[in-house]
Structure 1
Amino acid sequence: MRRIALIDYGKLELQNITDGIKKLQQGTVKVAVKACSICGSDIALYRGQRSLKDEKYFGHEFSGIVTDAGSEANGIKVGMRVASELCRTCGQCWNCLNGLKNYCKSMNDALLPGGFCEETLVLNTSEYSFLSPIPDTLDFETASLLEPTNCAFRIAHQANITPGANIVIFGLGAMGIISALILKSLGAGKVVGVDRSIKRLEKLRTLSLIDTVDGNNADWLEQVQEMTSSKGADIVIEATGATAVLGDAFKAVRPGGRIVVASVYHAPAGDLTLLPIMRKELTIVGAKGPYPHINSAGKSIPVQIMAKLHSDLQKLVSVYDYKDALHAFEDAMSGTAIKAVIRFN
């Protein structure tokens, strides 16, 4: 069984394990992983911005085929094509009862050893599941974006847009771009993306998915205002992970506007000026995915979104074979790949 192991900060190792997973733990199913994409949180772990000793899994954005369905809870059966996302929670714990279903359990309780392995166990019970069936029309590489699509839909939900709203997104990694695609599909007016990665901006301009502004330019704010409104954007989404950019969000949003913080910050805000929160009467909300977005028929809304946006989502994916996993991480960190996906099997 092949596995990508993070043996220490900054040290990845490609391993061949003689024995695969033979026995299921209670309440789990076994998935033969076909593809796993690299998340910003994986890179943070690699860089030592998160603690290795606190993580039991590595890789959570994956797709594959169920090889052992356990008790077949939630309709999961052997041979089913699936992808990872939080799709069911207990509904009874304090978090669930207070509208925080995305905090029901930790991923440490849901995945072992995780998606960067040819086989992984995934928690799937009547009270909690981290798997959704995917249609045959979705290829495994693109389907590995289900979990980030779920998170992006949470961002769109927290944005609470009205039709025609002008939106600025700081950070044009996969999360920012997928959020932009979803918001456009929900009726947003002008959607503008701001980023400082030259490689990423160059690639995005060839894809024609979103209007972009180079945040390195001294007149970036004037460009944004020209494309949205002289008063600023109705909604700003901060998805860079850089605390200083929150200050740019304060500048870009109009008075009475809304800022959605979708970033995982690993540093304090430092000299960030907070006066605009009061002066502009801003509404600031967080967006932490994944979240169990299920329709009235019990089906995953993000899966339906992926089916609708499939051709655009495919454009974000750069596929690497398992043997090139180290290269995939390098490209993900440099911005060469918008979404690096490692293919198994």
Structure 2
Amino acid sequence: MIMRALVFTEPGRAEVQRVPVPVAAEGQVVVDVERAGVCGTDVELFTGEMSYLSSGRSSYPLRPGHEWAGVVTAAGPGVDPSWLGRRVTGDTMIACGSCRRCRSGRHHVCAAMREIGIADGLPGALAEKVAFPARFLHALPDGLDATAGALVEPGGNAERAVTAAGLAPGERLLILGTGTIGLLAAMIARSRGIEVHLLGQQLGFARSLGFEQAWTLPELPELEWDAVVDASNAPQLPGLAVRLVEPGRRVVYIGLAGTPSTVDTRELVLKDVTAVGILGASAGLSSIAATYAEGLVRPEPLVAAVVGLDDVARVLAGHRPGNAGDGPKILVDPSLRAG
């Protein structure tokens, strides 16, 4: 049997190919993909700028897609059959499960870790179906639809970033960047009673979500920032985050620039600042799914458009669909056909 899947064949080239339908091997399920997200990592893999391509961790041809939700339609040997028919998402970080890091709860930095849709060896979910290890599945709460489900992975990243900031209700958080992760972090922080400010350039959409305290850099008020989360891709902002944060508090880095960033460690030391890096959503997946299900954070307004697989190459090349709203996120419904 054959299905359609997006394939990156070389830098700047993506095409929808007809590939064999996956079969659930031992310990795996097959998921019919309902929604998958397009994110900055996919763009870097498409353009060839992703560092994994130069290090050999990723190579072409590559099948992308690591933000997704769908329904389990097949279960391989050794998999609990109760997964069948359930709407799920999954951890991007697929680890060995037996090394020291995995045993200590750090599977997302396992030396043998593979990343679905990013690193070689695990085809991603920008396809009609995806095979996935049951050990890394997350069942979505009843009532959570596929749109919210596909935003669990970015939401898990944002949830980890907000938690790492270590703030109490009423304290003040500055978030650098108004993309999907930055806005989700702002929504999560607001749901926890934290005073949220945003720094960015295109601020109209952020303000439409109720974040009136959104600033460009020249407008940024001189306030005491109890924590700063850098969710941008600008190489100059990691250093700015350290300069802005209150002494003795935290800076959280979740954004990645395409070129190296400079942080003056003298400022870290002399201000007694804690800097935290966030890699992946693993530890935040279950909690953000519950937060969505409880209605504490509604991620759906971030979705600008839902397109089919045939439209993804244009999206990756920087073209927004003609019917797109103002949100930063494009989702893909693999069942949609061109025309």
In 2, Cα distance between equivalents of 1:208 and 1:279: 36
Superposed, 1:1-345 pairs within 5 Å as 1-17=3-19, 19-21=20-22, 23-50=23-50, 51-52=52-53, 54-55=57-58, 57-71=63-77, 73=79, 77-85=83-91, 92-104=98-110, 105-108=113-116, 112-125=122-135, 129=136, 131-188=137-194, 190-196=195-201, 198=202, 201-209=203-211, 211-215=213-217, 219-221=218-220, 223=221, 225=222, 229=223, 232-269=224-261, 272-293=263-284, 300-309=286-295, 312-322=298-308, 323-329=310-316, 330-331=318-319, 337-345=327-335
What secondary structure does 2:175 align onto?
strand
Partner amino acid, structure 2, of 1:280? K
Q: CA deviation at 1:313?
A: 0.5
In 2, Cα distance between equivalents of 1:309 and 1:251: 35
In 2, Cα distance between equivalents of 1:281 and 1:331: 44
Partner amino acid, structure 2, of 1:286? G
Q: CA deviation at 1:187?
A: 2.8
Q: Calculate the TM-score normalised by the size of structure 2.
A: 0.83
Partner amino acid, structure 1, of 2:293? A
Gaps in structure 1 of 5+ consecutive residues: 295-299
Q: Do the aligned residues in 2 keep the contact of 1:30 with 1:66 (CA within 8 Å)?
A: yes
Partner amino acid, structure 1, of 2:91? E
Q: Do the aligned residues in 2 keep the contact of 1:88 with 1:292 (CA within 8 Å)?
A: no
In 2, Cα distance between equivalents of 1:61 and 1:179: 17
In 2, Cα distance between equivalents of 1:16 and 1:91: 33
Label 1:331 to 1:213 Cα distance change in 2 as closer, same or farther (>3 A): farther
Partner amino acid, structure 2, of 1:106? R
Per-residue deviation, residues 177-212 of structure 1 (Å, max 9, x unmatched): 111211222231x1111113x3xx222222325631
Label 1:87 to 1:69 Cα distance change in 2 as closer, same or farther (>3 A): farther
In 1, Cα distance between equivalents of 2:103 and 2:181: 28
Q: Do the aligned residues in 2 keep the contact of 1:328 with 1:342 (CA within 8 Å)?
A: no
Q: Please identify, of 280-289 and 89-98, the stretch whose mean Cα deviation from structure 2 is larger.
A: 89-98
Q: Percent identity?
A: 27
In 1, Cα distance between equivalents of 2:188 and 2:211: 12
Per-residue deviation, residues 216-270 of structure 1 (Å, max 9, x unmatched): xxx233x2x3xxx3xx200000111222111221232122221011123442225
Q: Do the aligned residues in 2 keep the contact of 1:331 with 1:340 (CA within 8 Å)?
A: no
Label 1:176 to 1:142 Cα distance change in 2 as closer, same or farther (>3 A): same
In 2, Cα distance between equivalents of 1:310 and 1:39: 24
RMSD value over aligned CA atoms?
A: 2.9
Q: Calculate the TM-score normalised by the size of structure 1.
A: 0.82
In 2, Cα distance between equivalents of 1:244 and 1:276: 15
Q: CA deviation at 1:306?
A: 1.7
Q: CA deviation at 1:274?
A: 3.9
Per-residue deviation, residues 82-122 of structure 1 (Å, max 9, x unmatched): 12236997764211344423224321589732111111111
Label 1:85 to 1:306 Cα distance change in 2 as closer, same or farther (>3 A): farther
In 2, Cα distance between equivalents of 1:110 and 1:153: 27
Gaps in structure 2 of 5+ consecutive residues: none
What secondary structure does 2:199 align onto?
strand
Partner amino acid, structure 1, of 2:25? Q
What secondary structure does 1:243 align onto?
coil
